Amino acid sequence: MNERVLITGASGFVGYHLVEAAVNAGLEVYAAVRPSSEVDHLKAFPIQYTQLDFSSVAALQQELEEKQYAYIVHAAGITKAKEAQEYNRVNAEYTRNLALAAVQAAIPLKKFVFISSLAALGPISYQEKSPITEESNARPVTNYGKSKLLAEQYLAEIRNLPLVVLRPTAVYGPREKDIFILFSTISKGLDPYIGKGKQRLSFVYVKDLAKAVMQALESGVTGTSYNISDGRSYDRYALADVTKRALRKRALRFHLPLGLVKGMATLSELFAGSKTPTLNREKISELIAENWNCSIARIQQDLHYTPEYDLEKGLTHTLQWYKANKWL
């Protein structure tokens, strides 16, 4: 693949791994970043940078025509915001603008991959025997999930867009900053939970996700959405158990009442000022959801996606990276 790809959100956690995978696939990479974006960690890659005005379809169209992209991977998005409006503006309206510009522009576009989220479909109940599939009814439990669903609905209305939607479950790996808080807490000897309910959780290692995106670019498939995880279901303690083994640490397991954690989230939102803290009231709805187990049968069949990392293997690599880079 010796063609040009635009990767939005390139400065973020997933973006870094998308850039790496695209460079390794022989693509000519344009990383879309903001003037304020931290890009030092991308310096080692032989890539170009560009800035996009996501609020203007005309400006986006001009940019796309100038660069003549064959592929667009849209990973820019916000996972924390104070208001539904903010989520919708960035995650849904900006996505629609980029897609509209992509179909209006005279460019040789072969694929537009949108990084949505399993949160767009939302969780199911613990008792549910079957996992979440692409056919499951969408019942997002957060404004974040709703904004991703809205983005998908907007995209579905745009004719002639060579679209593939990927809906990753919780993504972990080197450079990730939110689940990292849990690793850091465990390394300090604490293993906290919200409430005592049972959970079925799913995860995907970021390099498996990046590989799936490359497979989506190469594939002839369009107009399809895929849920993506490592294909397994884990109980709520699996992440901590693997982490403790890998770090060779003991940690005190304890369960905080939901009401208390909600209070803590409210306080941290108050003290965070204009920023949204990692522990916010919205996030709690996703953290306590009973069942995020999802089927990957469709992506396995269509894109020949085979996850290489289960939690044990992926976390071992991840924790090694955090240690080597002095995060832990």
Q: Which residues bind ligand NAP (CB under 6 A)?
A: 9, 11-15, 34, 36-38, 54, 75-79, 90, 115, 117, 168, 170-171
**Interior/surface letters 31-48, b for 16+ CB within 10 angstroms, e for the rest:** bbbeeebeeeebeebebe
Tokens for 101?
A: 């510009």
The residue (of 34 and 275) whose beta carbon lies closer to ligand NAP is 34
Q: How far is the CB of 16 from ligand NAP (least distance, A)?
A: 8
Cβ proximity to ligand NAP, 78 vs 247, nearer residue: 78
Q: Decide whether 11 or 250 has the Cβ nearer to ligand NAP.
A: 11
Which of 79, 143 has the CB closer to ligand NAP?
A: 79
The helix/strand/coil state of 230 is: coil
> Which residue number, 61 or 79, has a Cβ lying nearer to ligand NAP?
79
**Do the Cβ atoms of 50 and 27 come closer than 8 Å?**
no
Minimum gap (Å) between residue 189 Cβ and ligand NAP:
25
Structure tokens at 174: 């080197």
Start-end of H helices in the chain: 13-24, 57-67, 84-87, 94-104, 143-156, 179-187, 206-218, 238-247, 258-271, 281-287, 297-303, 311-324
Residue 97 CB, shortest distance to ligand NAP, in Å, is 11
User: Min. distance of Cβ 270 from ligand NAP in angstroms?
Assistant: 22
The answer to whether 66 touches 51, Cβ cutoff 8 Å, is no
Indicate the residue among 11 and 285 with the shorter CB distance to ligand NAP.
11
Name the residue number minimizing CB distance to ligand NAP: 12
Residue owning tokens 């009973």 = 290
Q: Which two tokens stand for residue 219?
A: 């594939």
Q: In this complex, which beta carbon is closest to ligand NAP, that of residue 186 or of residue 205?
A: 205
Residue type, 241: D
Nearer to ligand NAP, 86 or 218 (CB): 86
Could you tell me the smallest distance in angstroms from the CB atom of residue 250 to ligand NAP? 27
Which residue in 72, 247, 278 sits closest to 155, CA to CA? 72
Structure-token match 């667009």, residue found: 72
Q: How far is the CB of 54 from ligand NAP (least distance, A)?
A: 6
Total count of residues recorded for the chain:
328
| HSE-up of residue 310 (Cα within 13 Å, Cβ side) | 7
DSSP tag of 183: H
Count of C-beta atoms within a 10 Å radius of residue 218: 15
Provide, rounded to whole angstroms, the least separation between the CB of residue 181 and ligand NAP. 13
In the complex, what is the shortest distance from the CB of residue 176 to ligand NAP, in angstroms, rounded to a whole number?
Answer: 6
